[in-house]
Amino acid sequence: MSSATFDPNKIRVEDLFRAKEERRQRLAKLPFEEKIKIVKKLQTGVSAAMKNERLIFESFLKACPDFANEPIEEWDVVEEWYAKRALAPPPHPFDKRPDIIALTASGKSIGIELKSWVNQEQITVARKQERIRKNILQAIDQPPNNTEHIRKVSLFLNLVDVQLIKH
């Protein structure tokens, strides 16, 4: 993904994995001292990010409901996953990882570590855009776009612009 404005309606799972790999390559090239600074900065911000895991994954599922090529049947943040099922969590340091545990429709168990995917600034911008978009659609009484082959229709005074999704 580029540093352009984040659009959750256009994100694909492949984009996430490509961005993650690009980030790994950039970090591998940094001097050791810079890596230590990043680790210290991450350690101070982790507790705040943990509080947003549920919201982040809910937003992700809205953009990619068929994560892992099939629907997610149930999911939870890791602490709640074990507690709700009266299961003992794994020993430290694995007791807090992954961030999310999910079960797919076929019963496949998936662990999702969010911190390597999430850019908080992009999430903030995306949430603001989504609120604006939702307010506009409500104001004009426009139902959500659930079509399979039409991305959007823009109406202008003398022009109609239709964007089709190519498969």
- With a CB cutoff of 8 Å and minimum separation 6, the contacts of 148 are 165
First to last CA, the chain: 20
Q: What is the pLDDT of residue 26?
A: 85
Note if the bond before 144 is cis, omega within 30 degrees.
no
* pTM reported for the whole predicted model: 0.42
Listed by start position, the domains of the chain span: 13-164
DSSP string, the chain: --SSPP-TTT--HHHHHHHHHHHHHHHHTS-HHHHHHHHHHHHHHHHHHHHTHHHHHHHHHHH-TTGGGS-EEEEEEHHHHHHHTT-PPPSTTGGG-SSEEEEETT--EEEE--TTT--HHHHHHHHHHHHHHHHHHHHTTPPP---SSEEEEEE-SS-EEEEEPP-
- What values do phi and psi take at 152, rounded to 5? -160, 160
Q: What is the pLDDT of residue 109?
A: 87
**Rounded (5°) CA angle 148-150-156:** 155
102's tokens? 């999910």
Q: What is the pLDDT of residue 96?
A: 74
Mode of pairing for the β-strands spanning 150-155 and 100-104: unpaired
- 167 residues of the chain, pLDDT tens digit each: 445 666 667 777 777 778 888 888 888 888 888 888 877 776 665 555 556 788 888 888 888 887 778 888 889 888 888 888 888 888 877 777 788 888 888 988 888 887 655 666 777 777 888 888 788 777 777 667 777 777 666 666 665 555 566 65
Q: What is the pLDDT of residue 54?
A: 82
